[in-house]
Amino acid sequence: MPRLSTSSSSSPSSSSRMLWSIPPIFDCFTRHPKLLLLFLTIVEMLMFFDRGAIASVLPSIKEHWTLSGKQEGIIGSAFIITFSIGSTLFAFLANYVRVNLIMAFGLFVWTVSAILSGLWGSVSHGVDQQWGYYMLVLSRALIGIGEASFVPLSVTLIDDIATKEYKTTYMSFFMLGVPLGVAFGYSIASYIVNISNWTYCFYMESLFGLFFGCLLLFIPLSSVKTKHSKKTDENASEFEKHNTSLEIDDEENYQVDIIKVEKIETTTPHEQHGSDTIHPSTHFHSEMDDLSDDGEETNSEFSLLHKNGDSHDDDAEEILLHEPIVEEELRLHNETTTQSSSSSSRLQHIKRESDKNRYRVFSFCSAMKYLFCNPVYCFSTLGSCGYNFVAGAIQFYAPSYVLHKIRQSDSAITIASDSANFANIGFSVVMLLASIIGTMLGGFIVDRFGGSNGMRGATRSLLFCGIFLLMGFPWVIPVFIFNVNIYVLLILFGISCVFLFCSTSPFQCSVVNSVEYKNLRNYGVSWQIFLFHLFGDFPSAFIFGLIQDSFSIDVAMSSVWIILIPSSFIFIAGYFVSYFWLQRRHDKMKLQFITKKKVELDLESLDNSEEAKDDDSDSTAAKTTRHEAPPASSHNSSFEHHASSTKPPTTRARTNSMDEKSKKQ
């Protein structure tokens, strides 16, 4: 089980890194990762409770200010802009500021924005006071800042605390907060609207936001090392294993890394110089030796960046990270030989260098080059945009669409009628069940068939995402073709949403695991979120409103669902492209190993032949000296021969040649 370690040291360097001491009650979050997972999931539910609530009260807001369909869509798209921009900003700040402080700040902003969202509805009403509508749009935009401070950072933190075998399952549990929050938002907001005013929904959620924001001030989360912590680690060696900020210390993963290194780094050229077998592990050993004594890294394939540069001039195909190299080295090595264990000091050195590489700080250009030259990351991001386009429109307009279907059978039904409330609650229950079944089922299936860990696991997740989306589309076709009743509509929507939710955790794990560098993962997730919303639910709500005004809500809903087909094909195409890319990289690395080993063997055989020639000339010269030398100087001759034999081969050969020249003269 991975452990989240806090400092138990009383050194000044450790105490200076805390703004205040942690109350003992909060130690449970550092000792029990599952409890931290539950806490983050609850906060995620609160974030998406707001999205479900705004969707549920949207018909009431429309009547409150007499809005058009386009104006409705602007409410749904307003927070996406600030959310997308803020996610990249907070991911950058995570390299300098403690993560819990960033999350707490965002939750406080989120709380204030929720209060303002309800306030504008209380102080303005009607077409003549539509300034309240525009202030509501501004408040919804500020809510995006709160979500941006939490979502991308929590995703990478969940991936850190998860064990290697259950990464997708952990992510599935965390992603349950999305549909659960939306479902509770639908049902609770609908109930509040029925008994009171829609503005009280936002007042209620602001209380929970304030509570969780205060809690986050005392939970020292840190999914990446800050620059300050890296400087402290370099100045205090005793502080390397016990970090004041909450560091990820996965003992099980460390043990796996040690086993890999023990299998890789053992055989030396002297043990096999006479063998024809080529061992790629020697390349890994030599690359590790390229690290200089002062800890500087050479431009070997073991590191992505040079020491003093944040960018490199290698081709995109040459970008090889630490973790993929270790996996490929082990894979190549197991094909050829079995090794013995190496010294513990050497293993500690390798682990320190590995951790140092994982926490490198990237410049903007080098980060962009790495991310968008990675086909696994690119296809998972592109496919998720289509998925989010559909999910965003459904999430925002589903209650309105259900009410529209009920009114087709009885036009006298109003928003506050019992039939409308029953439809909203029924839809919330269906979404709740579909989210629980789909999210957990998707994570279980992916982990059952190989998992999502590493680059190959991320590639495998793309295939499952495409399959799940293809399986979810056919169930909604009868809803758009026939005039079905509310019960059939909820059942078909529920089955289709099960498959949609199955793909939630696989594509999220695909994005996270395609970026191995710790300091770059928050950045990668934030850019994925930015594009995810920029081409996903940001335009979908607005486009849905335009189609609804031009045609009907039925045409708008059917047009949105069709986007699932190209999105699924993008995921499947990404799987095949990424698979061949990884295979090509493996073959290229294998060729490099073999080529370098052949060169080493050729140089070694050349040295052996030269050494043999030197030994032959040395023995011939010694025999000649013994036969030609006078007896009186036999003692001196033997002494000279002994002295010359102790010299290096090149020195002995030079001495023998000089003796032969003197004899000829």
pLDDT single digits (tens) 449-474: 887 778 888 888 899 999 999 999 89
The string of pLDDT tens digits covering residues 314-352 is 333 333 333 444 444 444 444 444 444 444 555 555 555
Task: For residues 383-402, give the mean pLDDT.
Answer: 84
Q: What is the pLDDT, as a whole number, of residue 21?
A: 54
Distance set, CA 91 to CA 99, 222, 315, 364, 514 (Å): 9, 12, 26, 12, 17
* Closest C-alpha among 379, 348, 519 to residue 455: 379
Residue range 278-294: average pLDDT?
A: 37
Predicted pLDDT of residue 279: 39
Average pLDDT over residues 600-613: 76
The predicted model gives 394-408 an average pLDDT of 79
The pLDDT of residue 26 is 64
Q: How far apart are CA 293 and CA 81, in angstroms?
A: 48
Exposure string for 549-576, b = 16+ CB within 10 A, e = fewer: eeeebbebbbebbebbeebbebbbbbbe
Please tell me the distance from the alpha carbon of residue 456 to that of residue 467, in angstroms, as a whole number: 17
The hierarchical CATH code for the domain 22-224+366-562 is 1.20.1250.20
Q: Which residue has the higher pLDDT, 388 or 649?
A: 388
Q: Which of 564, 610, 400, 404 is nearest to 469 (CA)?
A: 564
Query: Whole-angstrom Cα distance, residue 126 to residue 257?
Result: 65
Residues 502-555 have pLDDT tens digits of: 988 888 888 888 887 777 777 788 788 888 878 887 788 788 888 888 888 888
Burial 153-175 (b: 16+ CB within 10 A, else e): bbbbbbbbbbeeebbbbbbbbbb
CA–CA separation, 31 and 589 (whole Å): 40
Nearest to 486 by CA among 425, 548, 396, 560: 425
* 557: its two tokens: 């809903």
- Enumerate the domain spans of the chain: 22-224+366-562, 228-358, 598-664
| pLDDT tens by residue, 125-151 | 776 777 888 899 999 889 988 888 888
Two tokens, residue 463:
């295939």
What DSSP line would sit under 538-578, residue for residue?
HHHHHHHHHHHHHS-HHHHHHHHHTTHHHHHHHHHHHHHHH
Mean pLDDT of 354-375: 70
pLDDT value of position 211: 93
pLDDT at 541: 79
Where is mean pLDDT largest: 98-107, 127-136, 259-268, 445-454?
A: 98-107
Cross-strand pairs, 248: 4
In percent, the amount of the chain with pLDDT more than 90 equals 10
DSSP at 248? E
In angstroms, the CA 582 to CA 580 distance is 5
Residue 584 in this model has a pLDDT that exceeds 80: yes
DSSP track, 299-365: SSTT-SS-SS-S-----GGG---HHHHHHHHHHHHHTT-------HHHHHHHHHHHHHHHTPPPPHH
The predicted structure's pLDDT at residue 115: 93
Q: Is 512 left (phi over 0), alpha (psi -120 to 50) or beta?
A: alpha
**Beta strand ranges found along 120-239 (DSSP E):** none
Per-residue pLDDT tens over the stretch 161-199: 877 777 778 888 888 888 788 888 888 888 888 888 889
Helix (H, G, I), strand (E, B) or coil at 453: coil
Q: In the chain, pLDDT over 70 holds for what percent of residues?
A: 65
pLDDT tens-digit series, residues 219-260: 866 543 334 334 434 443 343 343 333 333 333 333 333 333
Give the CA radius of gyration of the chain. 33
Handedness of CA 617, 622, 627, 628 (dihedral sign): positive
User: Among the listed ranges 15-19, 59-63, 195-199, 243-247, which one has the minimum average pLDDT value?
Assistant: 243-247
| pLDDT at position 303 over 60 | no
